[in-house]
Chain A
Amino acid sequence: MKDNAVFRSRVLPWLLLLPSFLILLTFLYYPAIQAWVLSLHRSNLFLGTRRFVGLDNYRLMFTGALAEKYIQVVLQTFLYGLLVIVFGIGLSMVIAALASQRIPGARIYRLLLIWPFALSPAVAGTIFLFMFNPDIGSVNQVLDALFGVKPRWLDTPTLAFALVVAASVWKNLGYNIVFYLAALQNIPHELSEAAAIDGAGPVQRFLRITFPMLSPMTFFLVFTNLTFAFFESFGLIDILTKGGPVGFPPMDAAGVSTTMIYQVTLDGFGGSGNTGLAAALGNVILFFVVVMTLLQFRYGGRRVQYGDN
């Protein structure tokens, strides 16, 4: 690694780092430690009481009244994340690859594809909530007129789950396509053209050249989409189904993990208002995030080198 450290000062680098440091320590590291401390206590949000219970909250997750619900939530979260990643990233990659080809109007297509980059989960949820409202939504009015059916999109468990997945995939399309287009700009056209001269068809060129050259970006997007599915999706889900994707009773309004943390904490989900349990739930998710980040750095980093040459 080359060294750019040309300036000599003992104090200045620390002064430059100090503000970032203070903020990260106070608002990320300290709460992260507190999350473990809190998870060892049983707290009642409404009474303001708090007492040390050791690992009881972790045990409650698997054996308590909420155990069944919690396992359902974990499974739903993973299934949701998987679907969002496979459909969202797969579609975006194909669309971006097509829009990067040298065809007339490619610039216009690219512009029309990337403008919803900044779409927020809450706005996506709001629009879908109106479109798919079972009684007054346009989708059901059209379906009713054409086929005489009015599906209960927002309160039938499987339909609500499918709708949340569809809304999330749609919400992420613009975001994923932007990053893929940026990555595709860096892949020299000569590679594809040389392969075409050698007789490779378009599908072969995509599978043998574009797909592997995009792998560093795909790793990055798998990570950001997973972060979305685990955490940022809360806005979309909260607005669309108030806690879905819903399951069958008695796990009806359990939702994905972040929603559950929110409910345990602030709505007194399960009648507990036990912030300790919520913190314990958060720690379990945090564990998965750490594992995924390490995987990302380990494998993503290696591929980036590969894609560069």
Chain B
Amino acid sequence: MASRRTWLVHLILIVACAVVAFPILFALVKATQIRSAVLSPSLIPGDQLLENVRNVFLNANLLVFMRNSFIVAVAVTVGKTTLSLMAGMALVYFRFPFKRGVFGLILLTLMMPVEVLVVPLFDVISLQPPHTWAEFASWIARPDKILFEPARYGFGWANTYLAMIVPFLASATGTFLFRQHFMAIPRSLADAARIDGASPWQFLHSVLVPMSWNTIGALAVIEFVYVWNQYLWPKVIIRREELQVVQVGLNLIIGTGEGVQWGYVMAGAILSLLPPLVVFMLLQEQFMRGFALSESK
């Protein structure tokens, strides 16, 4: 009885693994085949993987798309983790007025997904900044107009990396994770550090950061994957192909549909999957531990 049950569990798990993996393995096999085989249902691996990869990298611009995604994802991940760590430290290790209000103001941004704010954010990013200081001064002098009239000036960042990096550098999730983690660290450690005359910077450097690798790892995974997988915002704000990121780039490789090189596209899909997969696999242990910890607090 018990062993029949165990076999059933094995069977369900094997089917589950197959369902989870099949579409990706399908894409991988198709990426190795020559054009005639790609368009057949055949699942026999071919020998064209390198050829397809070379073509999609060089002729279809995938290398450029992936480089852009990489720059943006690394910049956002590093920046976001740093800023969240700083904000978390301020919220836990210092006493200052309006602390609860400040924390609430940060948490409230969880309710503001970029996808809903695309229209106004587009204006803020793409409108040109004021030409002269006089113009800027007369604009800043009327805060009511700034708030309650449609935006007149922006950053002039359309078609730049900055448009994809700067708006995403602050994070409610990250600040929350670090705050929870710091509050779980015994107060005696911070007391000891202060009594020994350590400055806040020394405390950050020699106590907090070494004790936070799980949280840093968990956050890095979440943010890298989030930024790497972004689609709507880059599609809206980036209109030049040489600056586009890989998720939108894949769609550009598919193109209009006439004579699509599906072998190239599948090779591109697999390649675009690799960087976040590698990051996840490298930081998997920290991710599991960092997240399990925060959930139980």
Contacts and interface: CB of A to CB of B under 8 A. Distances in A.
Mutual binders A and B: yes
Interface residues of A, number: 106
B110 interface: yes
Contacts of A141: 40-41
Contacts of A283: 116
A20 B170 contact: yes
Interface string B172-205: 1001000000110101001101100000100100
A216 B91 CA distance: 25
B132 to A, nearest CB: 21
Interface string A15-43: 01101110110111111111101100101
Contact of A183 (B40, B183, B292): B292
A23 B119 contact: no
Query: Most chain-B CB neighbours within 10 Å: which of A5, A27, A99, A235?
Result: A27
A127 B94 contact: no
Interface stretch (A65-73, A82-90, A130-138, A155-163): A130-138
Given A19-B169, A118-B229, A127 B117 contact: no
B211 interface: no
B151 A34 contact: yes
B295 A4 contact: no
Query: Most chain-A CB neighbours within 10 Å: which of B6, B86, B93, B112?
Result: B112
Nearest to A145: B41
A20 B108 CA distance: 13
A98 B9 contact: yes
B135 interface: no
A152 B281 CA distance: 38
Contacts of A9: 94, 200
A15 to B, nearest CB: 8
B247 A34 contact: no
Contacts of B183: 2, 4
A16 B112 contact: no
B74 interface: no
B94 A130 contact: no
Contacts of B39: 136
Nearest to A128: B23
B280 A118 contact: yes
Interface in B260-284: 262, 265-266, 269, 272-273, 276-277, 279-281, 284
A20 B83 contact: yes
Q: Is the interface of A mostly helix, strand, loop or mixed?
A: helix
A5 B231 contact: no
Contact of A120 (B23, B232, B247): B247
A195 interface: no
Interface in A181-208: 181-183, 185-186, 202
A127 B27 contact: yes
Contacts of A119: 24, 273
Contact of B296 (A10, A186, A258, A279): A186
A109 interface: yes
Contacts of A173: 19-20
A23 B170 contact: yes
Contact of A17 (B23, B86, B151, B228): B86
Contacts of A136: 39, 262
A20 to B, nearest CB: 4
A272 to B, nearest CB: 13
B140 interface: no
Nearest to B203: A7
B236 interface: yes
Contact of A5 (B95, B115, B116, B235): B95
A116 B21 contact: yes
Contact of A37 (B6, B41, B150, B273): B150
A219 to B, nearest CB: 11
8 contacts: A20-B84, A37-B147, A103-B9, A103-B10, A118-B228, A122-B247, A232-B115, A289-B113
Ordered nearest first, which 3 A-B pairs have the shortest CB separation?
A235-B231, A118-B276, A120-B229
Interface of B: 5-6, 9-10, 12-13, 16-17, 19-21, 23-24, 26-27, 30, 39-41, 83-84, 86-87, 89-96, 102, 105-106, 109-113, 115-124, 147-151, 166-172, 175, 182-183, 185, 187, 190-191, 193-194, 200, 203, 225, 228-229, 231-232, 235-236, 247-248, 250-251, 254, 262, 265-266, 269, 272-273, 276-277, 279-281, 284, 287-288, 291-292, 295-297
Given A186-B295, A232-B231, 9 more contacts: A4-B183, A10-B96, A17-B91, A20-B169, A20-B175, A24-B172, A31-B112, A95-B13, A113-B16
Interface of A: 2-10, 12-14, 16-17, 19-21, 23-24, 26-35, 37-38, 41, 43, 50, 95, 98-99, 101, 103, 105, 109, 112-124, 126-131, 136, 138, 141-142, 145, 170, 173-174, 177-179, 181-183, 185-186, 202, 216-217, 220, 227, 230-232, 234-235, 238-239, 258, 261-262, 265-266, 275, 278-279, 282-283, 285-286, 289-290, 293, 304, 307-308
